[in-house]
Amino acid sequence: MDLTAIAREVFLKDRFATEATGINIAHAGVHESICTLDLTDRHRNARGAAMGGVMYTLADFAAAVAANSDDLEGGVLHWVSLDASIHYLSPALGNRLKATCKPLKTGRTTALYQTIVSDADSDRNIAIVETTMVRI
């Protein structure tokens, strides 16, 4: 079984991200991930753009997948978010979001990941999130 399939199986337990929000793991590699979300009316604010919390949830989930990717076969998730900072760049008006997460620094007990949330159709950057992860 490949790492993406294992990640999908393990993270099915994250029901808020996978069921309530509808996030899909498109790719899981060692210390990296790509997650997507098809936007519906329930994800949008009164202006018709994706809610900020939707983008944050997508980025947080992508960081969790990337940080925990090195031990997914054991099914144990050792890394959790300690802190995150999101920078909204432009409104998300398209129909699909993509979150691409890669490490800026990985260590034994802490790591820093950067997630770029983009409009999957135009590849326009919507938000940048930096997440500090801690090993528990």
| Rounded average pLDDT over 85-107 | 97
pLDDT of res. 9: 94
pLDDT, the chain, mean: 95
**What is the rounded distance in angstroms from the CA atom of residue 31 to the CA atom of residue 105?**
10
Count of positions (residues) in the chain: 136
Residue 82 has pLDDT above 80, yes or no: yes
pLDDT of res. 70: 84
pLDDT of res. 29: 95
* Interval 105-131: pLDDT, tens: 999 999 999 999 999 989 999 999 999
Residue 54 has pLDDT above 70, yes or no: yes
Residue 122: exposed, middle, or buried by beta-carbon count in 10 A (0-12, 13-18, 19+)?
A: exposed
Residue 19: exposed, middle, or buried by beta-carbon count in 10 A (0-12, 13-18, 19+)?
A: exposed
pLDDT of res. 61: 98
In terms of residue numbers, what domain contains 74? 3-135
| Strand boundaries in the chain, DSSP class E | 24-29, 32-38, 79-88, 96-106, 110-119, 125-135
Q: Which two tokens stand for residue 8?
A: 């999908």
pLDDT of res. 72: 80
**Given its phi and psi angles, is residue 25 left (phi above 0), alpha (psi -120 to 50 degrees) or beta?**
beta
Say which CATH number the domain at 126 has: 3.10.129.10
- Where do we find the tokens 């098809």? 38
| Structural domains counted in the chain | 1
Q: How would residue 1 be classed by pLDDT, with cut points 50, 70 and 90?
A: low
